[in-house]
Amino acid sequence: MAYRELLRRWHQAVLAADGGDWDAALDAFCGIEEPPSRICFNIGCVHLRAGRLEEALRAFSKTVTKDNSLAVGYFQRGFVYLQLEMYEEALSDYQMAFSHLRQNPFIDYKQLGLRHILYAWEVLYSTAAAQCRLQQWQEARVTLDKAVVWRPEGRTAMLALALEQVQNHLFLEPMQVPLGELFRPRKKEIEQLDSKDFLGKPKVISSIIPNDEYIGFEPLRPQKQGFYEPSADAVRDRESGYYRVLSHYYLEGSEKLAVKANSLVFVLARGADGWATAIHDGQKLRIPTSLLEPASKMDKGKISIGIPLPPAQVPPNRLHVKQTPESPGGVNASANDAGSQMGFEIPNTQGDASSILDRPAVLRVHCECMVVVRAGEVPSLPELRTLLRERFSLQAERGRLSYRHLDGKELGAVSGEEDLGKMWQQLTDGRLTLCCQDSDSHSGRPILYRMLAQHAYPAQGPGDLEFSKGDMLDILSEVNEEWLEGHCNGKTGIFPKCFATQTSCGATFP
């Protein structure tokens, strides 16, 4: 039997005994499989109280068999032997009880659950009682003289009376554990029988929902990106999830607006009474189910509460902007046309370059070119340098030149002396950045700047530019605050600005 079940039955038996139901107590004690010595002692005490001496003797015999050092067990069995007129056995048990006291004046069994103190003089007194029944009067007198030595204060008169009775050859009545005293289980162990709520009522300590009042425990799990959604075990309804509110909802009996129309709420449970328990702005509320409709994926992407979605999930809203078509000339389209398409106005301020360059200036040139290497022919380092030198020489002669404006966002084309004068006006602390590109790249359109793709973007429409994470993007125009037009992997299209970060373009050659 498990110790927990043993404690439970032991406690039930003691409670029955305290209530005076000794039969129920005996049944509970006898129902314990392989009872320990203290339970056997209790069974013996219950039988002894009922006058069933034979059953009490068997129970106390089991007690000392299971614990042969339990002095109070020998003491009680000696009392039963005397009642059964088995005087030799009684004398032997009393002597065993005294030897297990180990020269101590008493043993307090309170720590073991028995509210009784067994004194050495009591054991000697009962020993003398057994000797009297065996007609060993002289030995009984010696035993009582020994008990006087172990006697506590206040017991002298009782022992003096016993010595007088022995001198007159009168029997002494043996002592025993008071009726009703039993071994009891430890109080702390009984308190731990029932499950305890050590955590108490759960309280939200940290949540991705501000002012979250949702009560419940969930196991640790990866957070779902984009919006808060409890695990399946945490919600109580299959229909839990995000819902759109169809119209304004006011609290019952109040004119206060609780939820605006088209707001998104997370429904925890939908009741049969037509009301749903939901979370809105971090607060739990009840709302009629007739005002709710399931939210779409696009709706969930607009939720501002929770972990932001990666850009690949929900791109920004498209703006229907009428774009200026490219010039029919393609390669010959002027930089001014591209600038007007991007809404950039070049100032008319012109100046004399000689007056501007009144002191030395540093011109930094960014060059970008393409070198074709035939399959199966791996050039050596000198051959590669020769190819680059020829390509750079050709590019420097025929390539498109452009400069970066002071605001650092766009490039201005240098196609004539007028553009050259504007370029020198962009000197800052004697420095200027010049870009040289192949004349046939991007259909002659200038590159404003370059960006590095931080997320993969799958095309959402025929005019989108698809790319992978880590690709380098050439920015050709800014459609609006959220969308850009760019070139990557030989394709041109638009893409969300939040998918990439700006970086420097090409290799730098001072």
Q: What is the DSSP string of 201-221?
A: S------SSTT----------
Domains of the chain: 3-187 (1.25.40.10), 239-294 (2.30.30.40), 360-437 (3.10.20.90), 449-502 (2.30.30.40)
The tokens describing 257, both together, are 């607006």
Q: How far apart are CA 316 and CA 146, in angstroms?
A: 104
Handedness of CA 206, 207, 212, 215 (dihedral sign): negative
Q: Write the pLDDT tens digit of every residue in 259-313.
A: 888 888 888 888 888 888 888 776 778 888 888 888 776 665 555 444 344 454 4
**What is the β-pairing status of strands 264-270 and 275-280?**
antiparallel
Side chain identity, residue 184: R
What is the model's pLDDT at position 346? Answer: 36
Q: Which long-range contacts (CB under 8 A, 24 or more apart) does 305-309 make?
A: 305/208, 305/209, 305/210, 305/227, 305/228, 305/281, 306/208, 306/209, 306/226, 306/227, 306/228, 307/208, 307/223, 307/224, 307/225, 307/226, 307/227, 308/225, 308/226, 309/225, 309/226, 309/227
CB of 143 within 8 A of CB of 166?
no
CA dihedral sign of residues 286, 291, 295, 298:
negative
Count CB-CB contacts under 10 A for residue 226.
18
Distance CA 123, CA 25 (A): 28
Is 60 exceeded by the pLDDT of residue 228? no
Query: What pLDDT shows up at residue 479?
Result: 81
Residue 136: exposed, middle, or buried by beta-carbon count in 10 A (0-12, 13-18, 19+)?
middle
**Residue 223, pLDDT score:** 44
The confidence score (pLDDT) of residue 152 equals: 66
C-alpha 485/C-alpha 501 separation (Å) is 14
Q: Which residues of 436-470 are buried (b: 16+ CB within 10 A; e: fewer)?
A: bbbeebbebbbbbbbbebebebeeeeeebbebeee
- pLDDT per position as a tens digit, 405-460: 666 555 677 777 887 777 777 777 667 777 776 554 555 567 788 888 988 888 87
pTM more than 0.85: no
293-309 burial code (b ≥16 CB/10 A, e <16) = eebeeebbeebebbeee
**Residues paired with residue 313 on neighbouring β-strands, in sequence order:** none
Residue-level pLDDT at 362: 65
Tell me: the pLDDT tens digits for 277-287?
888 776 778 88
Q: 451 Cβ partners below 8 Å, 6+ apart?
A: 472, 473, 475, 484, 486, 500, 501, 502, 503
Distance separating alpha carbons of residues 480 and 498, to the nearest angstrom: 12
Strands (DSSP E) found in 238-371 = 241-245, 249-250, 257-259, 264-270, 275-280, 283-288, 292-294, 362-368
Residues 402, 413 contacting (CB under 8 angstroms): yes
Question: Nearest Cα to 405, choosing from 422, 384, 385, 429?
Answer: 422
Residue among 119, 137, 227, 251 at smallest CA distance from 175: 119
Q: Torsion angle, CA of 192/194/198/202, rounded to 10 degrees? A: 180
Question: pLDDT tens across 153-206, in order?
Answer: 656 778 888 888 888 889 999 999 998 899 999 888 888 887 777 777 766 565
Residue 510: the pLDDT is: 32
Q: What is the pLDDT of residue 92?
A: 93
More confident residue, 91 or 324: 91
Please report the pLDDT score of residue 242 as a whole number.
Answer: 82
Tokens encoding 482: 């959220």
**pLDDT given for residue 295 in this prediction:** 78
Q: First-to-last CA distance in the chain?
A: 89
